[in-house]
Structure 1
Amino acid sequence: MELQALMSLGFSEKKARFYLAALELGEAPIARVAKRAGVTRTTAYDLAAALEADGLLTPIEKAGRAQVVAEDPQHMLFRHDQQRRSIASLIPELRALRDHSLTQPRVRYYPGREGVVTILEDVLRCQSGEVKGILSMRELLEVPGDQHMAEHIARRRSLGIKLRVVRSYNEEVMDIWPTSADNLREVRFTANNDPFLMTSYIYDDKVAYLSSRRENFALLITSPELSALASQMFEILWATSQRDLDVTPPPAPQ
């Protein structure tokens, strides 16, 4: 019972056995304590040194012979109180470091198709329940591809994450992804139909960029201020764009 209790406090099994043996024997040579604890003599010296550092064992000399004596277990409470006070005094400094890091923007660069997939996975961890997007259908159907996008849309829907998205008819290549209450998606198209060469998602305190297949990268920036600015710019674009139900696609080039 005592062995398990000491191990629950962070003692190794050998260290716990050695300390218990020392408590039972009182003053005793290390070799005798080692034998009672069932450890080798070499290991015993290491254990004795560790327990001495913890303040739980004291080396003494008696009749010209080196011995050890176990200290009162109450010392563990004293040591615990010391550690608690040390941690308490350190917490304000550690919190200051954490708070400073949280105010610093974080920029992550992801190369290749796997980078695009990584960003799309992060979008599904959106906490606010709404994602704003400026999408290039043409590029997304190339990378990561229509099958992956279909799976992404299905997962977004199952997670209850809404998507408001602005697209350009010049980047539409298939009659898919319309406004849909079932798919939690509302679509608008820009009035001038200028193409979007990249895709951007804005959610929580993040702004993500997915490049064209030619440049082949993804970028994720975590910054409350940048996210707020990107959201404001999105809302301006959203207000000047047209609902997909109100838009007649431009004629195909001759």
Structure 2
Amino acid sequence: MKVDSLHQLGLDDREIGIYRALLRLGPASIRDVAAAAGVNRGTTYETLKQLATKGVVNYFPRGKRRVFQAEDPDQLLRLAERKQQALAQAMEQLRTEVIPELKQSRAVFSPGNVRFYEGDDGVEMVLRDILSSTRTDPERGYAVISTKTLREHLYRPFPNFTRQRESLGIRVRVIAVGEGGDEAEYAERKWLPSADTADASYIAIYPPKVAMITLADENYPVVVIIDSAAIASTQQILFDTLWQLL
């Protein structure tokens, strides 16, 4: 039996084994459950108490002993539903209370505001960060300055990035250094003339972040993300000024 879904409910292998043993036995004493599961009595008792807390095992007195029985397996689905509801509430609290409060207590700027990545994984992280950040922004847009020499490497680790951006209705304005660049929905593009030998560079401005990608030796991507509202705002002003002049 696949138990991955049970692990997601917070049940470990011992709990799963004892629950299944109890299902086979029906109402049973701790000694009988321990023997059927191959676990010592002390551990079996503690595990049964944990399962009772989770609502998948119950117990009742029989004489001077305590007898345990497994709840119907449908109870596992109800456990999953409770966890789902609790997770949804936690996410809402994180979004509306906890994260805003933590951001207010964060230092204005620290070394942690600058992150370095390497390789295609770093490029993919930037592209996914752009999507996750701009999809919740009321403006739903970002700005890019990109050279021709980098474009062929940009979407290699995330080939369906543009399709996902379009499906989310996220707008992008691109200043392309050098010729080329594909047309796409929700995208505006202007060009700066440049020699084909211009250094590879990609700058994405999605306040409060700025991401920069370049290529090291042998076309190896190097990525820097700066999380600073002040820097992002200044870069946005420069971009907007240049955009109006083109």
Q: Which residue of 2 aligns with 1:206?
A: 209
Measure the CA separation in 2 of the matches of 1:235 and 1:96.
Answer: 31
Provide closer, same or farther for how the CA distance between residues 95 and 111 of structure 1 changes in structure 2, counting only shifts above 3 A.
closer
Q: Which residue of 2 aligns with 1:223?
A: 228
Per-residue CA deviation, residues 153-203 of structure 1 (Å, 9 max, x unaligned), is 22211111111111222xx3xx4424xxx6111111236779453100011
Question: 3-state SS of the aligned residue for 1:12?
Answer: helix
The CA RMSD measured in Å over matched residues stands at 3.9
Query: TM-score, normalised to structure 2's length?
Result: 0.52
Provide closer, same or farther for how the CA distance between residues 155 and 101 of structure 1 changes in structure 2, counting only shifts above 3 A.
same
Provide closer, same or farther for how the CA distance between residues 204 and 195 of structure 1 changes in structure 2, counting only shifts above 3 A.
same
Q: Which residue of 1 aligns with 2:50?
A: 12
Q: Does 1:189 align with 2:227?
A: no
Is the Cα–Cα contact under 8 Å of residues 143 and 213 in structure 1 kept in the other structure? Answer: no
Give, in angstroms, the shift of residue 12 of structure 1.
3.5
Question: 3-state SS of the aligned residue for 2:241?
Answer: helix
Is the Cα–Cα contact under 8 Å of residues 167 and 196 in structure 1 kept in the other structure? Answer: no
> Which consecutive residues of structure 1, in runs of 5 or more, have no partner in the other structure?
1-10, 22-31, 39-93, 243-254
**Residue 161 of structure 2: which of 152, 158, 161 is its match?**
152
AA aligned opposite 1:155: Q
Q: Which residue of 2 aligns with 1:132?
A: 143
Measure the CA separation in 2 of the matches of 1:155 and 1:222.
Answer: 23
Provide closer, same or farther for how the CA distance between residues 102 and 37 of structure 1 changes in structure 2, counting only shifts above 3 A.
farther
Per-residue CA deviation, residues 86-119 of structure 1 (Å, 9 max, x unaligned), is xxxxxxxx98765222744622211111111111
Q: Which residue of 2 aligns with 1:109?
A: 116
Provide closer, same or farther for how the CA distance between residues 130 and 143 of structure 1 changes in structure 2, counting only shifts above 3 A.
closer
Provide closer, same or farther for how the CA distance between residues 97 and 160 of structure 1 changes in structure 2, counting only shifts above 3 A.
closer
Of residues 213-222 and 197-206 in structure 1, the stretch that sits farther from structure 2 once superposed is 213-222
Number of equivalences:
160
Measure the CA separation in 1 of the matches of 2:66 and 2:181.
Answer: 77
Q: Does 1:122 align with 2:132?
A: no
Measure the CA separation in 2 of the matches of 1:238 and 1:192.
Answer: 16
Measure the CA separation in 2 of the matches of 1:123 and 1:213.
Answer: 22
Per-residue CA deviation, residues 27-59 of structure 1 (Å, 9 max, x unaligned), is xxxxx7xx4477xxxxxxxxxxxxxxxxxxxxx
AA aligned opposite 2:130: V
Aligned residues with identical type, % of pairs: 20
Of residues 215-224 and 111-120 in structure 1, the stretch that sits farther from structure 2 once superposed is 215-224
Provide closer, same or farther for how the CA distance between residues 114 and 192 of structure 1 changes in structure 2, counting only shifts above 3 A.
closer
Measure the CA separation in 2 of the matches of 1:141 and 1:213.
Answer: 15
Query: TM-score, normalised to structure 1's length?
Result: 0.50
Of residues 135-144 and 115-124 in structure 1, the stretch that sits farther from structure 2 once superposed is 135-144
Question: 3-state SS of the aligned residue for 2:215?
Answer: coil
> Which consecutive residues of structure 2, in runs of 5 or more, have no partner in the other structure?
1-48, 69-98
Larger radius of gyration: 1
